[in-house]
Structures are given as structure tokens and as C-alpha cells.
Structure 1
Amino acid sequence: MSTLGIYVHVPFCGKKCGYCDFYSVCYTKEQAELYVEAVLRNIRHYSDISRTVDTVYFGGGTPSLLTAEQLGNIIAEVGRSFALDREAEITLEANPSTLTPEKLAELRNAGINRLSIGVQSMSDAELKLLGRTHTAERAVRAVREAAEAGFGNISCDLMLGIPSQTPESLTTSIAQLAELPIQHISAYILKIEEGTPFDCGEVRTSLPDEDASVELYLLAVRELGRRGFGQYEVSNFAKSGYESRHNSRYWKCEDYLGIGPAAHSCYGGKRFAVPRDIEGFISSPVQPAEVTDEHPCGFEEYAMLRLRLAEGLALADVPEHRSEIEKKLPPLIKAGYVSFDGERVSLTPEGCLVSNQVIEMLIF
């Protein structure tokens, strides 16, 4: 039977960032304890010792607000309820402000072996605009202390298209990040989500325009590649061998089980989602879940997700659609949006910027 990934949504934040649309609530110690009990209860509910779990991912929110003991208890329950691979990749998203040498040592002992640190920028002015609680110096210290604590697989988030961001400030951020002991960078273009505090005229008018955002993204691709971080997905870059194994599940239509309010799953032949409601999650014997797709990973979804990866879509994997796709390729190749070696179709960096439109033209 295929391996399984487990995603745990930790919906707590010390402070909500103005651009964030992910589900989160204000952290309290009491509610966090009830939440962890519910997570353990749900892991036991889905127990299947025949399934080997080789990735666990704590996302949020700010998962690093949980104690190392709480995180360790969740990992231990995964090990009791499933066959936990001894070499499993176990990732924790973390805010630099929550990491201390003592906490990092405890996290290592709890079983966390990969950190995803929300740096976002190495410019204090840009961090202030984003409403982050850390400075660039604090982010550097967190990364260095993580490496000293024994973490050899560290990812940092980098945001593109921040209000007032320039090519020069982005280049500086990339250069400073690349000097740190990290192996992976996730680089996202800031998107204004409806209903967030950033969804206002003042912020929108201060964002780089479309041409400037294109320039920033292509600059990031070039500069990260030059510094040894190869692009393996639209927004993800890694040193060789350090691609995120858990996130790769999503793009390869592999099974993953989501636990927690707002968590999504592709498990048991269906896609389902848990409501964005921590009280409902805590009070229910088993997390409520709504089926969102009865038959996931059909051709369209498979092709769409594969095209997000740098390795692209192998036409041998979709033989019944090969001729149709090949007919659509010439104008996209001429425009510089895709490349084709006779077997694989992949997006160019320019194509990544309009990936939705390109993918729609190819497969729908």
C-alpha cells in the first residue's frame, strides 16, 4: 500500500498578519490543550497500522506556539496509530519570534527534523509593513540557532511584491538568506485576499504593479538559482535533495490526511475538508468533514498539479490526451510559456507567472 502524509493544522497565532487568510484564532494555553486532545483523538480514529506515514507537517497558524511536549505527543500518537517511517520528514512551521535555543533543542528531541521559518523579508521596513513581529536580525538568529541545535533541513519563506519592495531590496534579502545555513526557500507573491485588513485601497495602491511583480518573480528565480536553490515548483526552491517531501504529495496526487479545523485531505479515495471552526473541532468526537470531491486526481487535476512542478507533465502518463496536448503546444512554446522535449511539458519561469491560464489552455 502507498505511503501516507499527515497534515496537522494548528490554528493559533499570537498576532494575525494583515495579509493572511489562513484560518487562525488567538492563542490561549487552555484552548491549545483542548485542541491537542482533539488532535490525538482524531489520529486514533483514523488509525491504520498498515499505512506507513513518511511525512508529517504541522502548518498553521503558528504551530511553534505549541509546546515541544504537545508536538511530541502528537508525533508519538502517529507512531502508535500508523507505521511511522524511521526516516519520516517531520516539519514544523515556525515564527522566528517563538524560537529560542532551549525550545529548538526540545523540538529536536520531540522528533521534529525540518523547520519552515516564516522570515518573509530581510528588510526591517518591509517586515514592519507586513506587520511581522520579528526583525531581520531576529530571523537570522533563529535560523543560526536552529542549525546549532542540529536542524539540517531548514526552509525559509520569502515574500515577493511587498508594498514598496524593489528589485534591490529583494536581491539583498535573497543574498542574506542564501548566506544562512538553510536548504530550501518558498517564495510567494503577495496576494491580497478578500476580507483581510490588506484588502483596502491604501495597501493596494502601494503594491508593485503587474509588470514590477513579474520582474520581482523572475529576479527571484534567477538569483535563487544562481545561489544553488533550484526551482522545483512554481513557488519552491531547494538545494539538491532538500525538496519538501510532504508538499510534493499535493502536487503528485499522493495520499495525505488532514487533522484540525480547516485541514484538507485526499484520503480513502476522496477529498474532504474540515470546517474552519476550532470549537466544533474540539467538541466533536470525530472532526466533522465535508467531502469536496468524490473522485479526485482525474486527468485535469493530475495534469494541473504536475505542471506546477519543474519536472512537468510526462505525456506518456496521459497517452489518451497526448495528441490533443501536443496540438496546443506551438503557440505556448513560441510565447515562451512552456518547454517541450518531446516527452515532457513544463512551464518556464515566465509560464509560472500565468500558470493558471497556460494550464487551462492545455488541459481543459
Structure 2
Amino acid sequence: MRDLGIYIHVPFCGKKCSYCDFYSVDYTRQTAEDYVSAVLRNIRYYSDKQRTVSTVYFGGGTPSLLAPEQLGSILGDIGNCFALDTQAEITLEANPCTLNEEKLHELRKTGINRLSIGVQSMIDSELKILGRVHSAERAEGAVLDAAKAGFDNISCDLMIALPNQGTESLRYSIERLTALPVQHISAYILKTEEGTPFDCDDIKLRLPDEDSTAGLYCEMVRSLEERGFMQYEVSNFAVKGFESRHNCRYWKCEDYLGIGPAAHSCYNGKRFAVERDITGFIRDDVQSVTVTDESPCGYEEFAMLRLRLKEGLCFNDVPEHRAEIDEKLPPLIHEGYVRTDGERVWLTSKGFLMSNSVIEYLVF
């Protein structure tokens, strides 16, 4: 039985955030119903009882806009069409404004056992700049309600390097967030994506410069680890044992099947992507995909992804490349970007700040 993760892209948003370039459309009840029907058709198309599904991830968009019954029907079909592990990690991304205690109890009944709540900041003025519709108080209430409903695996998103952000405001958000019953934090540096409302001089001129961003990142790592949230990937921190099993699939080149417009897959020896078109997804009997890599997870990709993880790259996994890696290590070690114990190499916090450049130098 080969292990598999399933990613469901739910492309609905009540209000698109000003910094976001993920594929999403406005939510309507009819479109959501048609979308769910299309998801079920595709699950049945890919049906394979020889694959054990150990992780399911509802991402978006705002997956929590779907009704618990709709999410339950999707999980039911996954269980019918694959061998769904009884201990599977099943994650739902959620906006705080879409959650209440009653709905959270219903979500628990569907089998969802992990929440990823889009908090971003615990300061109302920062949330307003980001275009978020919730307040810090609402975010806090959503986490507390989730814990009351029985969720004991809760992740929250945090965003850093916001316009005019300093270390004190970042530290405040971290202190307030980690005081809540959460076990995982995904922390991202804000980037101005082309074509978004944030792609303008008014925002760019207020963003921290490179040195200030580096300082904020290092402060974030230090503050989170002081509170028991250990870094295990460039942007992810967890209490021991609560690392995201599904996201680790991506960094370890393990199989995952993506369903929904704009979803990506690494499945049965190929990488492919679904068209960013909900109309076509709903219309077609089977989602339309484009193969993006005929033979994924070669040395460069494998090493690049492994180096995103705090555990790093094990030399025994790439013995034929050991000599060329060893030759490139001395200057990186001298500058404090990487460390090695002779069996593996991993990036330091300073290295993670420059991860793209460090990894490119080391691997390519």
C-alpha cells in the first residue's frame, strides 16, 4: 500500500486580501454546490484502493466557507475511493470570521482534526492594512472556540515585515498568539505580488528594508522558540509532535494528489497542475491538467526541498553528490549560513534568511 496525501483547493473567498495572488473567486451557494459535485467526480476518477491516504488538506481560498456537510461528503468519498488511514491528519484552512462554536462542533464530526486559522497579526491596525475582515479579538475567540469544540491541533498563520512594523509589535503578536491553545505557527514574510493591490509605491515605501526584515525574522525565530515553537522549516514552527504532516510531504518529495482549480500534484511519477478556471473545473467530467514535470524529485529538487527543512539534507541520500557539496561548504560555514555534522548539512536561521541564494549555490 503506497502512502498518499490529498490536497483539495477550495477557491472561494468572501473578500480577497490585498496582498494575495492565490486563485480565488467570489463565493455563491450555487457555485459552491457545483464545485463540490465536481470535486466528488474527480475523487471517483482517481479512485485507488491500493493507496493509503494519510493526510488530507483543504486549502484555498477560504475552505471554511463550505458547509460541514459539504466537507463531510468530500471526506466520505475519499474514504470510499481510497484506503483512508484511521489516524489521518485532516486539515481545514479557516478564516476566523467563518467560525463559531456550533460550526466547529459540526466540523469535528466530519473527521477534520486539524485547523489552520488565518490570523496574520494580533494588532487591529495591521489587520486593517492587510485587508483582513476579522479583528484580533475575533481571531482569539475563534481559537478558543476551536479548543472548546475539541480541536487539539490548531495552527495559526502569522505575517511579518508588514508596512511600518517594528520588533515590538511583532513581539506583541507572538506573545498574544502563543498564549492561546495553538500548537503550530506558519510565519511568512510579506511579499508584494505583481498585480495585487499591494503592488504599489504607497505600500512598498512603507515596507521594512532588507536589514530590518532580517531583524524581524531573527526576532520571530527567537521569540517563537523561547515559547516552545521550534522551527522545523523556513516558515514553520511547532510544539514537538505537531509538525504539519501534510506540508512535510511537499518538502520530502512524497506523493500528493491535488483536486480543484489551481491545485498542484506530485502523483504517480509526474508533477501536474490544474487550470486556474473554476468554470472549466465544474464543467469538465475530469479536471484539466498540464504536466509540469515528467520526472520530478531529481537530485536538485530533492536537495532543494530537504534544505528547506531544519533537519537538512542527509549525505547518505545523495552519495554521488557528496564531494561537490563538501567542496562548497567551507565559505557557507564560515559565514554562518550552514552547519554540518559530517552526516548531514542544514541551514542556520541566518541561512534561512538567504535560503534561495544559499541553496542555489550549494545545489546547482
User: Alpha-carbon deviations, 1:145-171, whole Å to 9, x = none?
Assistant: 000000000000000011111100000
Residue equivalent to 2:290: 290
Structure 2 distance, partners of 1:342, 1:154, is 36
Residue equivalent to 2:270: 270
Residue equivalent to 1:359: 359
Structure 2 distance, partners of 1:27, 1:282, is 14
Deviation at 1:2, TM superposition (A): 2.6
**8 Å CA contact retained: 2:2, 2:50:** no
Residue equivalent to 1:103: 103
User: Alpha-carbon deviations, 1:241-282, whole Å to 9, x = none?
Assistant: 000000000000000000000000000100000010000100
Structure 2 distance, partners of 1:163, 1:98, is 26
Structure 1 distance, partners of 2:226, 2:80, is 44
Deviation at 1:6, TM superposition (A): 0.1
Aligned residue for 1:308, secondary structure, equals: coil
Q: Aligned AA for 1:256?
A: Y
**8 Å CA contact retained: 2:17, 2:131:** yes
Deviation at 1:237, TM superposition (A): 0.1
Structure 1 distance, partners of 2:38, 2:135, is 34
Q: Aligned AA for 2:322?
A: R
Q: Aligned ranges for residues 141-290 of structure 1 at < 5 Å?
A: 141-290=141-290
Structure 2 distance, partners of 1:135, 1:318, is 48
Structure 2 gaps of 5+ residues are none
Structure 2 distance, partners of 1:269, 1:342, is 31
Deviation at 1:51, TM superposition (A): 0.4
Aligned residue for 2:38, secondary structure, equals: helix
Aligned length: 364
Structure 1 distance, partners of 2:339, 2:152, is 34
Residue equivalent to 1:343: 343
Structure 2 distance, partners of 1:38, 1:354, is 41
Aligned residue for 2:297, secondary structure, equals: coil
Deviation at 1:111, TM superposition (A): 1.0
Structure 2 distance, partners of 1:194, 1:2, is 39
User: Alpha-carbon deviations, 1:162-197, whole Å to 9, x = none?
Assistant: 111110000000001110000000000001100001
Residue equivalent to 1:58: 58
**8 Å CA contact retained: 2:34, 2:282:** yes
Structure 1 gaps of 5+ residues are none
Q: Aligned ranges for residues 12-27 of structure 1 at < 5 Å?
A: 12-27=12-27
Structure 1 distance, partners of 2:157, 2:347, is 22
Structure 1 distance, partners of 2:114, 2:246, is 11
CA RMSD in angstroms comes to: 0.5
Aligned residue for 1:152, secondary structure, equals: coil
Deviation at 1:316, TM superposition (A): 1.0
Deviation at 1:356, TM superposition (A): 0.8
Residue equivalent to 1:41: 41
Structure 1 distance, partners of 2:188, 2:220, is 10
Residue equivalent to 1:114: 114
> Normalized against structure 1, the TM-score is what?
1.00
Aligned residue for 1:50, secondary structure, equals: strand
Aligned residue for 2:218, secondary structure, equals: helix
Q: Aligned AA for 1:125?
A: S
Q: Aligned AA for 2:241?
A: G
User: Alpha-carbon deviations, 1:314-333, whole Å to 9, x = none?
Assistant: 01110000011001000000
Aligned residue for 2:280, secondary structure, equals: helix
Aligned residue for 1:159, secondary structure, equals: strand
Residue equivalent to 2:312: 312
Runs of 4+ in structure 1 deviating by more than 3 angstroms, as ranges, are: none
- Between the aligned residues of both structures, percent identity stands at 70
Structure 2 distance, partners of 1:94, 1:207, is 27
Structure 2 distance, partners of 1:2, 1:18, is 40
Structure 1 distance, partners of 2:357, 2:137, is 39
Structure 1 distance, partners of 2:13, 2:344, is 42
Aligned residue for 1:35, secondary structure, equals: helix
> Normalized against structure 2, the TM-score is what?
1.00
Aligned residue for 2:275, secondary structure, equals: coil
Structure 2 distance, partners of 1:36, 1:150, is 26
Structure 2 distance, partners of 1:286, 1:327, is 48
